[in-house]
């Protein structure tokens, strides 16, 4: 059991992360509309994190609140929370299940999530309750690409609404930090769906 617990802390390294409109989107990952990702791993467990898009919108977190090992999370319900500059955002869980492991390293150094959202920045591993059902409700492959492109377009429009424009049409890194006039609440509602 200890060996199993140790293995949960060491995820497989993702080396090929394709860029879609400047946002990292790795193959073999499922995506929730609230910008959480899910990756099926050995033994049918699911590793979960927040995607690159969310990290480029909200920037580096100051703190992170994850469910404890043994706690239950439910599909499309609040599964975690993070803070930045005194503001809190909640993110939805992409699957239902029981938390089997938590990434303690990111609770100590949340900046890792922004730097490596699909590798060292993972958040938790769950034992899924209804994996097939939940995965059918997530985006995968070409659907994910089209969705990120649409989300990027929404972000461009939101940025334009506060009088800013993209210099080259590419993504802005750390929207919250660079555009304080853009409402935190509006960003969390639109992209995290909370």
Query: pLDDT by residue (tens digit) across 145-189?
Result: 999 999 999 998 998 888 766 655 555 789 999 888 899 999 999
For residue 89, pLDDT over 80 is answered with yes
34 contacts 192 by C-beta, under 8 angstroms: yes
Give the mean model confidence (pLDDT) for residues 70-78.
97
The token pair that represents 155 in the structure block? 């972000």
pLDDT at 167: 55
Classify strands 139-140 and 63-65 as parallel, antiparallel or unpaired: unpaired
184 CB-contact burial (10 Å; exposed 0-12 / middle 13-18 / buried 19+): middle
Q: Which residues are within 8 A (CB) of 150 and not within 5 positions of it... i.e. 6 or more apart?
A: none
For residue 3, pLDDT over 80 is answered with no
Confidence at 30, pLDDT banded by 50, 70, 90: very high
Q: Say which CATH topology domain 2-140 has.
A: OB fold (Dihydrolipoamide Acetyltransferase, E2P) (2.40.50)
The full set of domain ranges for the chain reads: 2-140
pLDDT at 151: 97
Confidence at 5, pLDDT banded by 50, 70, 90: low
Indicate whether this model's pTM tops 0.85.
Answer: yes
Give the mean model confidence (pLDDT) for residues 51-67.
96
pLDDT at 53: 97
Give the distance, in angstroms, between the CA of residue 18 and the centroid of all CA atoms in the same chain: 16
pLDDT at 161: 86
């Amino acid at each position: 059991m200890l060996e199993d617990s140790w293995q949960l802390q060491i995820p497989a390294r993702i080396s090929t992360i394709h860029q879609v409109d400047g946002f990292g989107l790795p193959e073999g990952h499922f995506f929730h509309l609230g910008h959480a990702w899910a990756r099926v791993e050995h033994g049918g467990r699911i590793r979960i994190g927040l995607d690159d898009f969310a990290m480029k919108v909200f920037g580096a977190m100051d703190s992170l609140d994850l469910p404890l090992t043994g706690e239950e999370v439910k599909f499309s319900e609040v599964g975690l929370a993070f803070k930045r500059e005194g503001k809190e955002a909640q993110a939805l869980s992409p699957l239902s299940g029981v938390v089997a492991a938590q990434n303690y390293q990111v609770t100590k150094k949340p900046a890792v999530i922004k730097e490596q959202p699909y590798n060292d920045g993972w958040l938790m591993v769950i034992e899924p309750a209804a994996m097939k059902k939940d995965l059918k409700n997530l985006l995968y492959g070409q659907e994910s690409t089209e969705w990120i492109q649409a989300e990027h377009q929404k972000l461009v429009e939101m940025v334009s609404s506060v009088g800013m424009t993209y210099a080259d049409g590419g993504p802005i890194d750390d929207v919250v930090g660079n555009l304080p006039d853009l409402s935190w609440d509006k960003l969390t509602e639109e992209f995290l769906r909370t």
